[in-house]
A = this chain, B = another copy of it.
Amino acid sequence: YLRGSWRPLERLIRRLHAADAAAVLVELPVPQVVDTLQAVSDLRHAAQIVNKMPLAIRHQIVEALPHKDLAELLENFRPDDLTDLIQALPDEQRDHPLSALDAESRSELDTLLAHDPGSAGGIMTTEFFSLPEACTVQEAIEALRGYADAEMVFYLFLTGEEGRLTGVISLRQLLLAPSDAQVADVMSGRVIRVRTDTEEEQVSRLFDKYRLLALPVVDDNDVLVGIITVDDIIDVIGESTTEDMLRMAGTRQSEMLTDSVFRIAGVRLPWLFAAFLGGLGATAVIGQYEEVLAQVIILSAFVPIIIGMAGNVGVQSATVTVRGLATGAINPRDTLVMVFKELRVGLLLGAFYGVILAAYGFWVYDSLQLGQVVGLTILTNMTGAALLAVSLPMLFVRLKADPAVATGPFVTTAIDVLGVLNYFAIASLIYGL
């Protein structure tokens, strides 16, 4: 009876845009989603709906669908979407969908899976529209008529001998050209292209720089093997900024995809280890000043705020610098300007909070010396942290290293250890110990 009761839903789903249908369905329990999907007769539509669902639910649906239905569904996936689906599955869950594919799709998938997921070959689709350059405008339009399937056709890529990429023509140019003209005479022969092993960050930079809608992918022999469309790149841009953020925090995108708690812990462990070593460094520094502490025990109460304020201003400077470098708002050549600016910002903020903390130390603990020590420490530590946090990413860029990684462990650890050292040095001096 379940089937019957889901009829109205199925009718609704059929009329909705795939993205909306997916949004509706994910609100339901998985068995009912599977049921409804099986009742959708337009398999292309069903495939698009599944493709629009969040990863976790997609996996559950793939697991729950019987072999035959899964086979029909997967055949209607675009090759690049299918690759994404399989790639995101944990190894042990891949057998079920893989066995549902026919030999041809399987071999196509294997080719795509062979590329690094972070390369042009890993994000391209092999389902695209191209024509030999030796045809007329009229023939091109006829060919296009017969190819109803390809979405996002706005450029036709043209190939010469052995499938080598020779030119591109936009639908607009095709529309405006006389119908008996040779395509080769109307097309543009200078085509921006990438190789299958080009990194996806490079690909997304090209899209951004030249405002592209589609980019052809060629192999080592310049043979056209796939295209990347702008909608794939939107995902890449979101992902790569996300990657930047996660790298600064010492973790990785993969942690969202994998389910294993052990693997997540493994991903986070290394950066925490850098922080751990830094923390031990700070412990050792304080251990050296045990005598000072024994005489002015209250000094230890200010350790958290002194470390925290410098760390926070450091995170701010580092984030601004790393993002500015990534978006191009900051030019590596402007290092001196940036460093000088952060110096002044750090001094301003350090002076502001230094005065407040000095006042607090003086009034609450009734000690002018304590006020001087904590005030001076905040001023110098915040300034130093801002300087360090802007300089290290700039330095890493010049050394061709990733500034996002640099900012994580190096900056925070250095700020902690140097900050504590500076604090006790100032305290020894002012208390004359």
Contact = CB atoms under 8 A, between A and B. Distances in A.
Among A248, A283, A341, which residue has the most Cβ atoms of chain B within 10 A?
Answer: A283
Nearest to A235: B208
Interface stretch (A30-38, A110-118, A249-257): A249-257
Given A153-B172, A290-B297, A246 B308 contact: no
Nearest to A307: B304
A279 B297 contact: no
A345 to B, nearest CB: 5
Nearest to A206: B19
A223 interface: no
A176 interface: yes
B309 A279 contact: yes
B234 A313 contact: no
A341 B261 contact: yes
B320 A255 contact: yes
23 contacts: A26-B331, A54-B329, A141-B176, A230-B234, A234-B234, A237-B241, A238-B327, A246-B323, A250-B315, A251-B319, A256-B320, A262-B348, A268-B313, A268-B349, A271-B312, A276-B305, A279-B306, A280-B305, A283-B304, A283-B305, A286-B304, A290-B301, A303-B303
Interface of A: 17, 19, 26, 52, 54-56, 141, 144-145, 152-154, 171-172, 174-176, 207-211, 213, 230-231, 233-235, 237-239, 241-242, 244-246, 248-251, 255-257, 261-262, 264-265, 268-269, 271-272, 275-276, 278-280, 282-284, 286-287, 290, 293-294, 297-298, 300-309, 311-313, 315-316, 318-320, 323-324, 326-331, 334, 341, 344-345, 348-349, 352-353, 356-357, 360, 412, 416, 420
B54 A256 contact: no
Nearest to A265: B348
Contacts of A176: 141, 144-145
A193 to B, nearest CB: 14
Contact of A238 (B230, B237, B298): B237
Contacts of A318: 249
A140 to B, nearest CB: 10
Contacts of A276: 305, 309, 353, 356-357
Nearest to A304: B282
Given A242-B323, A272-B349, 18 more contacts: A54-B331, A171-B175, A238-B241, A246-B320, A249-B315, A257-B329, A261-B341, A271-B316, A272-B313, A272-B353, A276-B357, A282-B301, A282-B304, A282-B305, A283-B305, A284-B301, A303-B303, A307-B307
